[in-house]
Amino acid sequence: MATIKLHLDLRRQKKDGTYPLVFMVVFNSKPIHIKTGISLSQDEFDFKNALIKNKPKLNQELYERECIYRDKLHRLQLTYSSSPLSWNSAQIKSFLEEQESSTITLTAYWEKIIEHLLKCKRYGGAKVHRTSLNAVKKHLDINIPIQDFSYSMLMALEEAFFRTGVSVNGMGVYFRSLRFVCNSAIKENVVETSWYPFKNYKIRKTPTVPRVLNLKDLTCYFNYPIDAQHPDFYYWNIGKLLFMLRGINITDLLLLTKDNIKGEYLIYKRRKTNKIYSIKINEAIRASLAYCHGNNTLLGLIDQEALNSPKIIEILTQKRKTINHHLKKIGIKLGILEPITTYAFRYSYANAAKQLGYSKDLIAEALGHEYGNSVTGIYLEQFDLEIVDSMNEKIIAAVLQNEN
């Protein structure tokens, strides 16, 4: 005899005060708990009717899963009707949860995408997907076939994020990552186009105020009288390069090699967008590069062993944190109110260019952005590099000018 019903497991309270919702199966007097991937507070569960309150679509999906389990249990009973079943609880649970060998789970497919990004050395993207996957797994069991993931589960995930204090923009990062995974699965014909769970879901976002240093702050930073032997000097110099190389991303800077220097130009491909950047090495940039004595990479903070390590993302993240730590210390010493970080230099470059009167189109070209519509984007590609180099030269000159 077998029974099955939804059950809120009050023995395992989570940090956010919710409890896991499970299918409680009793087969031949053996109790088995099967995860649904959903967590609820006691107020959200109807104990009498074994339903989630005010969630008809989600209840329907759970009912359909329950029917699948009931059908499997029935087939199991018919198979062993003439002789006793010797399986233990773990074997029965495995039988109920097993999928067709051709079925890939959402977790496994997400991992596959991360692995692909790592092989392509797109470390930033891999890091975002890894962070998003871990965040989602904290609130939802996605070790399920991709096609079983639904709009209702999206809504349940959104509620869980809000309940645990995840910001709207933080949630947006996680959902955009998940949406990318869903789109990829459709493009690879892993699932049908009609399955798309984001069809009626809009990812929300709120405006953020970028952290920027104004021209006065930048002038103060660039004219900091720090000795070359000071422990902070190397990191101060990295900050200068981040700015002078037109707001280069810290990961791209850390991975530059001597091969990226072609005569009077530094040429590299941004890992996030694959866009090619060509930056003229003027006197100020050359002076800062002279303090870099790396073997495998230009800055020397990433060696060959790190480049070949499967933990390259963690290594890059730690390097960024170390650099930010020193930059913030320098900012405090200089009395700059805005915390200085590696990312602040990119926004600060655009802000400085704007303060000096340069057009949005030219600033966008310098940063590698496509400004406005696609026609404008095509127009921007025709900018003479000399114009962009000239702007960069004048921006650097402006921040190097000592007002004292």
Note whether 298 and 257 are within 8 A (CB): yes
Tell me phi and psi for residue 5, to 5 degrees.
Answer: -160, 160
Q: What is the pLDDT, as a whole number, of residue 210?
A: 67
> Does residue 372 surpass a pLDDT of 50?
no
* Domain locations along the chain: 2-97, 106-195, 215-400
Q: Tokens 């079983």 — which residue?
A: 148
pLDDT in tens, 38-93: 889 999 999 998 999 988 888 888 888 888 888 887 777 776 665 556 677 888 78
What's the CA gap between 105 and 228, in Å, rounded?
54
> Hey, what CATH topology would domain 215-400 get?
hpI Integrase; Chain A (1.10.443)
Length of the chain in terms of residues written: 404
What's the CA gap between 257 and 304, in Å, rounded?
11
Tell me phi and psi for residue 55, to 5 degrees.
Answer: -135, 70
pLDDT in tens, 271-292: 888 888 999 999 999 999 999 8
Query: Hey, is 230 helix, strand or coil?
Result: coil
What's the CA gap between 13 and 20, in Å, rounded?
8
Q: Average pLDDT of the chain?
A: 87
For residue 233, give Cα distances in angstroms to 223, 230, 236, 238, 246: 12, 5, 5, 9, 21
Beta bridge partners of 25: 4, 32
Residue 193 DSSP code: G
